[in-house]
Structure 1
Amino acid sequence: SRYIQFMNTMASQNLVFDPEGDVKFTFEEEAVENGDEHKKAGKADEKDSNPRGKRKRSNSTTPEAQIITMLVSSRHLSLASNVFKAMLRQNFQEGNELSLNGTVTINLPEDNPAAFEILMNIIHAKNRSIPKKVTLQMLAELAILVDKYRMHESTGFLADMWIAELEEDIPHKMCEDLMLWMAITYVFRHEEHFEDVTATARYYTVGKRFRFKQGARFSESLPIPEKVIEEVDRLRQHDICLALSKIGALIKRLQSPQPKLCPASIFICESSLLGSLLRSALSLKLWPLPEKPYEQLSFHDVSSSIKKLEILSYCQANHKGQDGHFIMDGIQREVENIRSRQFGVEIDFTGH
């Protein structure tokens, strides 16, 4: 949005998308400190990727907020958004006021004005004002509004362009940006990227809920459906359970009367295998086996711990075998096979 410097305790900015518009939206936005460079927020060439609400405050007296108004056409709104179409009918307060007075003012305190401005440029065909690139944070803000106001049809082709500019930076680790991508790819129906992002979450997520830093802008507002979170967690638990079952099965076999894991079936060797495995698993918190729902574990945590397990054999100490009869090699292959089958959440976006 067009952030401006000002000296008064309150300033206003009036944006006109239709001179004959009959709907006025109002927003209140925290001001930038005096001396900050005028920026067009959301453009991808900006160095600062902070979303709205994290601007620096100066020590001097600065205005707390600016009022932004946007004059728009109810007809364009209704064509682009079923939510606004319903809101502007006479059975809603806003629609009734519009019908009686010919105009209506709607306050949107929770919406990002920078993202909303982009959407208004789109639906009013202000093509020269529509950015060709946006930051990841701005794309997430747009996704929030598109989902909230059901504006998928109006924005789909532009979202494809914005995503194409950013897709090389999709992270392959658990971080806040990954959650932004999950919301973006879900809202804009990017099936392939959505599956990739949820596959990464399946591998790295600790517990059911995705964690944001305290006070993060997007911690509560991202349009990620509960069914997606539930499915990522179900897959996470399934993978962890499967990996741990390999360790449990090995311990159970070593506890049996005839494990047959030592080629020579030497009792002291198989006892050494069991003892070293239990001791190593205990130190790595893999024994006793963790139980569902594994709230403090990710599959990455479990697989990394399994790689650190040490199994020692009597034969190995006496140069008759190597590396615990290579038992862990087999376990490692099984865990790697689990990892290789970790696909993302599949959703048929054609039905959405």
Structure 2
Amino acid sequence: MEHCKFDQPDLATDSLVLVNPLLAGVANLTICVGERNGQPLKRFLVISESMRLASPVWNAMLKPDGPFLENGAKEVSFPEDDPDAFEVIIRITHGQFSTISDISDDHILMSLAFLVDKYELQNLVSAFISRWADSLRLCRDSSLLRREQVLFTAYVFGDCDTFKTALLDLVVNCRVDKQGVILLSGKPVDFRYLPTETTGCVTNNHFAKLEALMRLGTCAIDKLTLCKKNLCIVEDNATPCCGTVMGTMIIALSKIGHWPVPPSVDELAKSVPGFADYLDEHITQYVHTFAEDHEACPAASMYTDAMELMLKESRPLPNTLVQHFQAFAPKETSTTYAKVPTTPKKSKNKRRSSFKRTR
């Protein structure tokens, strides 16, 4: 797929982008988008009425007597918006659908989502939403966007699968400090443009996973204290295996301040993968109890598998988010026609109506 980028205007000659040749002599407004060194990155000639019809926000902004067009002004600036994404919107607004190529640039996709949300353009771009959601799915694995940016873009485009994948990724990899701030790589996650339910989803799921992992670790410790032979979780006298040594585990836990086991996950300053790694390293630590090498204890493998399953599981979305994504689901269309009552024609000659011609 080609990147959806258009030619930059020559600012030295003050050229304008005319997205539709038919607008020559008709366009009545100049739109300046982006800013660098006090100059717009792109300038477009548009029809103000088309812009107003496309967006209720623009309708309020571009009224002849509105604050942006005072004293007969013919130019409006949008310095904070992305010029490439804005050009896509302007081309759609002015009917240039054939010039919109597939978009493989994740930053343009995010900028489009921002514009759609900011200027309430959902109805205008409804025919393109599914295509943009497909593009987002294709580039999400190699995307350089932050996780909250992927979340926001998927939310605006109605891409439930990508939203849930990004949400789980954030849940697993974030940390929550004592003030309840969600941190990723040591920096606060920006939830400004996401629905309020998202923050609760991340926090609740994050602590639910930590609690599940803590229960798993506590269960392992309880079983270890009850085992008798070889210090193995599963007693099997016929099968030699690697035992988990209780003393080694307790010493390791004490060094990192987790022995005794914290009474609640609030005292765990760890990410979910960090806590899982800690369990894997210290609770399922293998120490050979026989001279020769043997396979790992099956119970230890069971705990490792259980931890991996916990990391992959995601909890259901809140009803408000479910309803949001359901609105983007393709509607089943079926055409039904009213049946016109008909009365069969009576044959005047019943004998003739049943007559079969023979040769």
Same structural fold, with TM-score higher than 0.5 when normalized by the shorter chain: yes
Other structure's SS at 1:111 match = coil
1:40-79 alignment runs, 5 A limit: 65-66=39-40, 68-79=42-53
Deviation at 1:94, TM superposition (A): 3.0
**Of residues 276, 285, 302 in structure 1, which corresponds to 2:275?**
302
Deviation at 1:302, TM superposition (A): 1.8
Amino acid at match of 2:204: R
Deviation at 1:125, TM superposition (A): 0.6
Counterpart Cα distance in 2 of 1:28 and 1:340:
41
Q: What 5-or-longer segments of structure 1 have no aligned partner?
A: 31-62
Amino acid at match of 1:77: M
Number of the residue aligned with 1:260: 226
Q: In the alignment, is the contact (CA less than 8 A) between 2:221 and 2:283 conserved in 1?
A: no
**Of residues 15, 18, 23 in structure 1, which corresponds to 2:17?**
15
Number of the residue aligned with 2:80: 110
Counterpart Cα distance in 1 of 2:267 and 2:64:
51
* 1:148 matches 2:118: yes
- Structure 1's 177 and 308: CA in aligned 2 closer, same or farther, altered over 3 A? same
**Of residues 106, 113, 117 in structure 2, which corresponds to 1:136?**
106
Number of the residue aligned with 2:152: 183
Number of the residue aligned with 1:38: none
Q: In the alignment, is the contact (CA less than 8 A) between 2:117 and 2:156 conserved in 1?
A: yes
**Of residues 178, 183, 200 in structure 2, which corresponds to 1:230?**
200
Amino acid at match of 1:94: F
Deviation at 1:171, TM superposition (A): 2.3
Larger RCO, structure (CA 8 Å, separation 6 or more): 1
Deviation at 1:273, TM superposition (A): 4.4
Q: In the alignment, is the contact (CA less than 8 A) between 1:178 and 1:197 conserved in 2?
A: yes
**Of residues 2, 23, 47 in structure 1, which corresponds to 2:7?**
2
Number of the residue aligned with 2:351: none
Deviation at 1:21, TM superposition (A): 3.1
- Structure 1's 339 and 13: CA in aligned 2 closer, same or farther, altered over 3 A? same
Other structure's SS at 2:200 match = helix
Q: What 5-or-longer segments of structure 2 have no aligned partner?
A: 1-5, 236-243, 329-359
Other structure's SS at 1:194 match = helix
- Structure 1's 114 and 310: CA in aligned 2 closer, same or farther, altered over 3 A? same
Q: In the alignment, is the contact (CA less than 8 A) between 1:143 and 1:184 conserved in 2?
A: yes
Deviations 1:37-56 (A, max 9, x none): xxxxxxxxxxxxxxxxxxxx
Task: Give me the TM-score of the superposition, normalised by structure 2.
Answer: 0.67
Counterpart Cα distance in 2 of 1:164 and 1:157:
13
Q: In the alignment, is the contact (CA less than 8 A) between 2:34 and 2:81 conserved in 1?
A: no
Counterpart Cα distance in 2 of 1:300 and 1:313:
20
Q: In the alignment, is the contact (CA less than 8 A) between 2:32 and 2:78 conserved in 1?
A: yes
Q: In the alignment, is the contact (CA less than 8 A) between 1:183 and 1:222 conserved in 2?
A: no
Other structure's SS at 2:274 match = helix
Other structure's SS at 1:70 match = strand
Q: In the alignment, is the contact (CA less than 8 A) between 1:87 and 1:94 conserved in 2?
A: yes
Amino acid at match of 1:204: N
Number of the residue aligned with 1:24: 30
- Structure 1's 226 and 123: CA in aligned 2 closer, same or farther, altered over 3 A? same
Q: In the alignment, is the contact (CA less than 8 A) between 1:199 and 1:345 conserved in 2?
A: no
Number of the residue aligned with 2:67: 93
Deviation at 1:90, TM superposition (A): 7.2
Considering only CA atoms, is the larger Rg found in Structure 1 or Structure 2? 2
Counterpart Cα distance in 1 of 2:218 and 2:231:
21
* 1:280 matches 2:282: no
- Structure 1's 334 and 91: CA in aligned 2 closer, same or farther, altered over 3 A? farther
Q: In the alignment, is the contact (CA less than 8 A) between 2:252 and 2:282 conserved in 1?
A: yes
Deviation at 1:276, TM superposition (A): 2.4
Amino acid at match of 2:14: S
- Structure 1's 124 and 213: CA in aligned 2 closer, same or farther, altered over 3 A? farther
Other structure's SS at 1:225 match = coil
- Structure 1's 169 and 28: CA in aligned 2 closer, same or farther, altered over 3 A? closer
* 1:195 matches 2:195: no
- Structure 1's 221 and 203: CA in aligned 2 closer, same or farther, altered over 3 A? closer
RMSD: 4.1
- Structure 1's 344 and 115: CA in aligned 2 closer, same or farther, altered over 3 A? farther
Number of the residue aligned with 2:211: 241
| Matched positions, count | 299
Identity of aligned residues (%): 15
